[in-house]
Amino acid sequence: MFSCTVNSNDSSSFEINEDNKYEKISLNLIIDSPKRYDSIDLKTSGIFVFEYENVALYKDKISALLNDRKNAIWVEFNSSSSYKSSELKKLNNRRVFLVGRFNSKRKGHLSKYKGQLNTNEILLK
């Protein structure tokens, strides 16, 4: 299993606490009812896309290929991460698990997504 963790001094960023319990929630459920999962610490999986103005988790490969943002959530990483571009590009279009806090009010770039997952951890099977 591969794990990326971002350490941050930025108080607005989300930090993983090993004592936190994360609810495993299907990305389909989050996309169908984003308000229901607002402010919940969760673990979900999908197709990770890391492109210019499109950093998101899509429910399936077809949605990712078509940039179907109604079937995706925006992924927000700590902006000071030194490996962000080099490491995350390697994960482009791969199925990953993300751990973080979901925010249904934030909709990502141009407010086109179903919500935003604030994360600093990616897990691969």
Residues 46-95: tens digit of each pLDDT:
999 999 999 999 999 999 999 999 999 999 975 645 445 788 899 999 99
pLDDT at 13 over 50: no
In CATH, which of 3.30.1360.20, 3.40.1670.10, 2.40.50.140, 3.40.50.1000 is domain 22-123? 2.40.50.140
pTM (whole model) above 0.85: no
Which residues are CB-neighbours of 31 under 8 A, at least 6 positions away?
A: 59, 70, 71, 72, 73, 114
Distance of CA 15 to the CA centre of its chain: 14
> What does the mean pLDDT of the chain come to?
83
In whole angstroms, what is the distance from residue 87 CA to residue 31 CA? Answer: 26
Q: Where are the domains of the chain?
A: 22-123
Distance of CA 101 to the CA centre of its chain: 9
Instruction: Look at 13-17, 64-68, 69-73, 103-107 and tell me which has the smallest mean pLDDT.
Output: 13-17
